[in-house]
Every structure is written in C-alpha cells, then in structure tokens.
Amino acid sequence: MQIIRGLSIFGLSISFNLTHSYSMQLYNTLSAKEREALIEQAGKERLTISFYKYAHIGNPRILRNHLFIHWNELDVLGRIYVAHEGVNAQLSVPADNFKAFKDHLDSISFLEGVRLNIAIEQDNKSFLKLKVKVRRKIVADGLDDNTFDVTDKGIHVDAEQFNQLVEDPDAIVVDMRNHYESEIGHFKNAVTPDVDTFRDSLDLIEEQLRDHKEDKKLVMYCTGGIRCEKASAYYRHKGFKQVYQLEGGIIEYTRQVRDRELDNKFLGKNFVFDQRRAERISDEVISNCHQCGKPCDTHTNCANEGCHLLFIQCEECAEEMNQCCSEACMEIVALPYEEQKKLRKGKTKSNLIFKKGRSEVLKFKKPATSSLVLEERK
C-alpha cells in the first residue's frame, strides 16, 4: 500500500479528502505565452529534470490529482504520465523549490529516493505548462505485460562498464530510440534501428538478432533508461541470455563521464522531448540539413501549424524557407493568420507529424531501411 503524506491512495479517506480538494486547480489556466512571460518576469533559474518509476498504482487518477495540486504550488512545469504501472515524468522546477519538490517525492513511498536525471543543458523555458495525464501505460510499448515477467530485467551498467561494452567485439550495442533521435546522436558502434516507434524496434531487433541470442551480449541504451527497463525484460523472455542496459540512459552517462573524466563514446546530440529539442553531448555533427544537405543537427517544427513536421534545418534554409518544410507551407504561412485558421478548420494534422523527417518534400532526408546494420569494430 502506497502512502502519500499519511493518506492511503487506495483508502476511502483520501478519496473523501481529495473530493474536497477538487475545488482547487487541477488543470492549467495559463497559455504557453502567458507562462513564458511569467518565467521571464520571475528571472529565476529553473532545473530540467526527468525520472520514472515502475510501481503498482491502484488509482492513477487520485495520484494524478495529488501530484498536480502539490506540484502546481511549487511552480513545476512539464509532462507527466501516471498509469497503473508507474510514473514517467519530464519537468522543470525553480531551483529555489527543488528541495521542497524532492521532499514531496520522498513523501510518496514508491518515489522515495528515485533517481533524478538532471538535464545536461538547462533552459528556463524547457516546459511552459504542467500536464499530468493518466495513461494506460507510462511508455507506449504495445506489449502484453501478462505474458512475461517485467521484473526479470537485464544487468544495469554504469558509464565505465558501458564504455567497455561499446568496444567489446562480443557485444551488440542497440539504440532503443526512434530514428529521428539517433539521427542526430548515438554511441560509437551502435546499431540504430530505423523505426518510428519503440514498439517497432522491439520486433525488428528480436527478429534480426535471433541468431545471436546465445553468443552475443545485447547492450541497450535510451534517453533516460525507461524504454530499456521494459525492453530488457522482454528480450530475456525472448531467450536472449546476456542482456545489459545503460543505467540512467544517455543523460546519466554524460554526467558520469564528466564527473569521472571518462572517455565520451557518444557522438553528437541527445534528442529531448521538450522545448530544447536536444542537448549537445559532443562536438561532432553527424547529421545533415534535410533541405540542403550540409552538416546540421538542429531540429525544428514547420512553421505551418497545419503541418508542424519535425525535421532538421540549418540556419540558412530556415531563413530562406521562413522556417517551413516546403514551398507549399511557405505559401500558407504568408497568409493572414485568420485565413490559416480557416484552412485548418475541420482537418486533423497530417500524419507527417508522426513521421518525423520522413516527408517526400525533404530532399536530403535520411534514407529509410528495414534492416539493422552491425558496425565493424575498429
């Protein structure tokens, strides 16, 4: 039974008490622009943080409301998912309120002492709203958790151990992120599946590495560790004998590399799901502008709100194309805003928003492939 400040999240008492609390604010009342202005006016340093924790939560809705009420008081902003299987959070908090935020986390029994990944590069405007949502799962993995033991996970390794595995000829290092994430940054010798979703990568990796279940070490990494947490148990269930995962993901790896003065095996940028879009881990630029082909690793969203395609665009192309992905979108952006709204009315956003960097209008997009390419050790 999980305890939140002395109240059971499964008991009738908290249901009654939180019912009385529902008169309090449970959702955002400010727009992103209004929040941005308040952040600038406050002039206070904010910390961008992420964490996750798998746990059995009986009533995610009650926990969701509890988190929103208390974190809103602390001026926390971010995107938090709550499900029966746990909590997944990416957020920012004023540095002055960090201790109070940490104390509140520690008052929730299953979150006490949870590892917090502090962003490598800080930005006070990384998040502009507090969104706490109840989801079926904290990561959309498409798996039936009842078919395997999700607690039978792989071996967690730190940065020093991971560096050794990166150079190990008997290890296959696999990037568990999506194609647009690994395109701008990945580890040396890593296999980078060309997939749009985490679920797609699970099947692709299992199918194409099936001949190496016994003889190779399967070494996985992702942004903060959450995707590997479930994937490692899944692959052990599928018969892989030597399964490893990078503890804390790329974010924690980078912190350890800097603190311990280790060799950095990561090339390029780490993609992040907030206003920053990425944080630089090394000086290498390993990707190209999708419009002109010159070296570039800066993601942007098409300025046409009816498109909003995520793609890589250099400064020169951004100026020439008015931050749009195509001439068609440029024509729409040039229209009065009210006319743009009329064009969008009744239309759902294009599937291109979910096919990041895949649009045919992008002349220099990364070619798609359906197979894994195993790097030769140098």
DSSP 8-state assignment for residue 171:
E
DSSP 8-state assignment for residue 38:
H
Measured CA distances, 278 to 3, 5, 113, 184, 301 (Å): 36, 36, 27, 9, 13
Concerning whether 325 is annotated as a catalytic residue, the answer is: no
Element (H, E) at 249: helix 249-260
Nearest to 219 by CA among 170, 174, 154, 283: 174
Say which residues have a Cβ less than 8 Å from residue 357's Cβ, sequence separation at least 6: 179, 180, 183, 290, 309, 310, 311, 312, 365, 366
Can you tell me the distance from the alpha carbon of 213 to that of 350, in angstroms, rounded to the nearest whole number? 39
Do residues 174 and 205 lie in contact, with contact meaning Cβ atoms separated by under 8 Å?
Answer: yes
Can you tell me the distance from the alpha carbon of 320 to that of 334, in angstroms, rounded to the nearest whole number? 13
Say which residues have a Cβ less than 8 Å from residue 127's Cβ, sequence separation at least 6: 48, 77, 78, 79, 90, 91, 92, 274, 275
Dihedral Cα 176, 181, 187, 191, nearest 10 deg: 50
Can you tell me the distance from the alpha carbon of 6 to that of 3, in angstroms, rounded to the nearest whole number? 6
User: Which of 222, 296, 314, 324 does the annotation list as catalytic?
Assistant: 222
Do residues 302 and 325 lie in contact, with contact meaning Cβ atoms separated by under 8 Å?
Answer: yes
Which residues are part of the catalytic machinery?
A: 222
